[in-house]
Amino acid sequence: MRKVLVLEDEDNIRSFVVLNLNRAGYDTLEATTGEEALEILREHPETRIALLDVNLPGIDGFEVCRRIRATNSKMGIIMLTARTLEMDKVTGLMTGADDYVTKPFSPAELTARVDALYRRSGGEEKQADSGEIFQPPFLLNTRNRTLEKDGKRIKLTQVEYSIMRMFMENPGKALSREEILDRVWGRDYFGELKIVDVNIRRLRLKIEDNVQNPTFITTVWGYGYKWDA
């Protein structure tokens, strides 16, 4: 069963989200506080996607995201944010969320985001492709979807993995932000280009020797990014 956790303290919004996810064929687990959400995820480790409201009594959605990511890099996480502040989006993504949806959102928009993330998190079993891409010091295993740098495992979210794979399959090629958005998030994704920058910033923190002076993922000013391993 395709299981999604919905953390939202406002009953009417939670019911609305649950109803629409159920209609789209998802099985839902509901939580009204961050603490409860974490408890439910412990009891249901098979949960593939979590929708996290940001403003909550008790610990907030960012903290829940951080705690999920401390032990689980694979779960798909979408933040539900009431505010459109750029900082909120950035904070959410930097704490490890894969995506965000700003309230108010339409049922179609929400399920499209969940579907996209579910596909990306390996929800629909694809033919296992075997193989490794080795570009010292990086080794990307496309079967296990893992990355090593100098033989040490670097934990990546699904989105970060997709970005790394795209880069390593296109060494030395300048990729525009639009192209990265299309390749990683899909052509049917109506997100903002900002999400590309934030994910790359987060990825750099994990893979670069010196984040202030990145040498693997370099910026192509006014255009996008380039992989230089």
Residue 148 sits in the site that holds Ca ion (CB under 5 A): no
Contacts (CB under 5 A) with Ca ion, residues 169-228: none
CB 34 within 8 A of CB 64: yes
Residue type (1 letter), 187: R
Residue 88 sits in the site that holds Ca ion (CB under 5 A): no
**Interface pattern 19-58 for Ca ion (x via CB under 5 A):** ----------------------------------x-x---
- The minimum distance between CB 117 and Ca ion, in angstroms, equals 21
Residue type (1 letter), 164: M
**Interface pattern 3-22 for Ca ion (x via CB under 5 A):** ------x-------------
Exposed, middle or buried by CB within 10 Å (0-12, 13-18, 19+), for 224? buried
Which tokens is 94 given? Answer: 């930097």
Nearer to Ca ion, 60 or 197 (CB): 60
Nearer to Ca ion, 17 or 181 (CB): 17
Nearest to 122 by CA among 160, 79, 75: 75
CB 208 within 8 A of CB 215: yes
Contact positions vs Ca ion (CB under 5 A): 9, 53, 55
